Chains A and B, each alone.
Chain A
Amino acid sequence: MQSTKQNLNKHELKPVRITSNSEISPNVFVISWKRTSDFEPGQVIKISADEHEPPRIYSICSGNREEEMYVLFNVKPAGILTPKLALMKPGEEIFVSEPYGNFSCNGSPATWIATGTGIAPFYSMIRSGNIKNKKLIHGVSYSNQFYFEDQLKATLGDSYICCCSRDHSGAHFPGRITDYLLAQEELPKGDKYYLCGQALMVVEVRDLLIQKGVPYGQIYAEIFF
């Protein structure tokens, strides 16, 4: 039944050594290793702490010219991978696939919309120099979850919008991303819209954008699965 042809090998996992693993916010880590592959910002990789365990998929967070490759992950207490990853130290091995996927964004005007760690592909794009005509809307529950906030503010200025749903103390938009979008009188119809986050956020934001007149063909989504 099985063909003699080889299966695609880009999903195969290869060992790499961790160069750093830092907790940048409660239960949210950036883990890095020396980059061995070229990639397009927006691509994903599979990661496993053990080559025999099923890997999980993460967006690459680093820029495509950086020496290190890194991803952003939050620890899910009931998860198989992230509690282990959080405890790993530089010098230890993890297993990663080649980068793949095509959530790429060219120089055209675009609005990037992310919740939580869904900011990773957009941070990668920014770190790779893709900032012209770009606006980033990041939604989180608490203000300490605006990962890379200082760098993003410095790079994007007013084109960096922070929406905070549960902690209204800071200088952020007080509410969810959908509240922010609803509050806008008009959205740029010519922009492409890139969404990254949990499926329900993606679906709600996409429905809202369509309702506000954005053609669905201009909306691209990367979902967590």
Chain B
Amino acid sequence: METAKEPLFGKTLNELIQLTGSLGWPKFTAGQIADWLYKKPVGSIGEMSNLSKKNRELLAELYDFGTTLPAKVQVSADGTKKYLFVTGKHQFIETAMIPDDNRTTVCVSSQVGCKMGCLFCMTAKQGFQGQLSAGEIVNQIHSIEEAESVSNIVYMGMGEPFDNLDEVLKSIEILTSEWGFGMSPRRITVSSIGIVPAMTRFLQESEAHLAISLHTPFDEQRKSLMPVQIAYPIREVVEEIKKWDFSGQRRVSFEYILFKGLNDTALHVKELSRLLNGIKCRINLIRFHPVPGTPLVSPDEETILHFKNQLNDKGIFTSVRASRGQDIYAACGLLSTKEQNSV
């Protein structure tokens, strides 16, 4: 039985140096391969024309280039696109491309499914099916039609990035290194529910922005929304964040999905301002788009606006995130679950 060859795409420069060294090739060939993988619009080892024909043949015998085109794309009336990539056997991951004035933001997945079991999340209903490699994460940016114009990347798709931190950090290294995509880490935001030890390591080892899914400042309520609260309470997450300097260019933000009658009260505003006191941050309010089997609904626009204004009055910069791509299941997990169920 033929086994799949190891992909080159997703390897760091150090890994490529090791690889070329093991083949007895000079060190500079690693940089040449990195150039073909991450800087040039090619998709096969045969196109790496500054490697000798013999070396290309040997490389192709041992490795795959390693990029994958999306299996499906849906386009929203507002220009948002949802890409579906196949990974593993009948496993689907989603990537959203969100155009906005002069920005093109790509929302990538970091796992297939998710282990975290949040009550309001559609991806949670798939359970956990596997980790994505750094190559599979970066491929979501490299292999979409808008690859050349991507300005911002958010790790807010399927999965919990800090539950796959090694591969997430490696993907950020590829995206931000001179030998890779050469992006500024300030164009990258990683969103997490707050796994404290992994968050600390992320803050130490990366310069990318951090976003934390908060959703309620109250312990018991957060436990019923997000099981992670049992192991890593939000107070512990915030205490750790307070140890880091966000007064410069690096940002921390808090994601807050509003649920009618649950977390949209004046008490929540008061407790949020108490919890986040001393952190230079912003809160992104998110409208909830119902998922099947979940007894939560979004408040009306008036309540959302009032909640935002109350937080701004407390001195916490707060905005409401625009809902995009609603006609194409852009909320993460919806499309892949639909696809999964049809296999």
A residues adjacent to B (C-beta < 8 A): 1-3, 5, 7-8, 11, 44, 57, 100-103, 198-200, 202-203, 206-207, 210-211, 216-225
Contacts and interface: CB of A to CB of B under 8 A. Distances in A.
Contacts of B243: 2-3, 5, 7
A223 B116 CA distance: 7
A8 B116 CA distance: 23
28 contacts: A1-B245, A2-B243, A3-B245, A5-B243, A7-B200, A8-B236, A11-B197, A57-B231, A101-B231, A102-B230, A199-B124, A199-B127, A200-B128, A202-B227, A203-B127, A210-B294, A216-B119, A216-B295, A217-B221, A220-B223, A220-B224, A221-B227, A222-B227, A223-B117, A223-B228, A225-B115, A225-B160, A225-B163
B127 A7 contact: no
Nearest to A5: B243
A211 B292 CA distance: 11
Contacts of B219: 102
Interface in B105-161: 113-117, 119, 124-128, 160
Contacts of B203: 1-2
Contact of A206 (B114, B119, B228, B239): B119
A44 B295 contact: no
Contacts of A202: 117, 227
B117 A199 contact: yes
A5 B278 CA distance: 15
A198 B127 contact: yes
Contacts of A44: 231
Contacts of B84: none
A-B pairs, 5 with minimum CB distance? A200-B127, A3-B243, A221-B227, A207-B293, A199-B115
Nearest to B262: A217
Contacts of B250: 1
Interface residues of B, number: 39
A222 B115 contact: no
Contacts of B293: 207, 210-211
Given A7-B243, A211-B293, 18 more contacts: A1-B203, A5-B243, A7-B200, A8-B196, A8-B239, A103-B230, A199-B114, A199-B116, A199-B124, A207-B125, A207-B294, A210-B294, A210-B295, A219-B224, A222-B230, A222-B231, A223-B116, A223-B117
A120 to B, nearest CB: 14
Nearest to A104: B230
B115 A7 contact: no
B14 interface: no
Contacts of B227: 202, 220-223
A225 B224 contact: no
Contacts of A222: 227, 230-231
A198 B227 CA distance: 12
A216 B224 CA distance: 7
Contacts of B128: 198-200
A8 B240 contact: yes
Nearest to B221: A217
A83 B237 CA distance: 32
A210 B292 CA distance: 12
B244 interface: yes
Nearest to B231: A101
B10 interface: no
Given A3-B244, A199-B124, A102 B119 contact: no
Contacts of A224: 115
A221 B203 CA distance: 28
* Residue among B128, B223, B231 with max Cβ neighbours from chain A (10 Å): B231
B204 interface: yes
Contacts of A220: 223-224, 227, 230
Contacts of B224: 216-220
Contacts of A103: 230
A2 B244 contact: yes
Nearest to B121: A203
B180 interface: no
Interface in B203-238: 203-204, 219-221, 223-224, 227-228, 230-231, 233, 236
Nearest to B245: A1
Nearest to B293: A207
A203 B113 CA distance: 12
Nearest to B220: A217
B267 to A, nearest CB: 15
B230 A101 contact: yes
A60 B197 CA distance: 19
B270 to A, nearest CB: 20
A1 B228 CA distance: 27
A202 B236 CA distance: 24
A207 B121 CA distance: 12
* Residue among A2, A5, A221 with max Cβ neighbours from chain B (10 Å): A221
A95 B239 CA distance: 25
A200 to B, nearest CB: 3
Nearest to A194: B230
Contacts of B295: 210, 216
* Residue among B220, B223, B239 with max Cβ neighbours from chain A (10 Å): B223
B240 A7 contact: yes
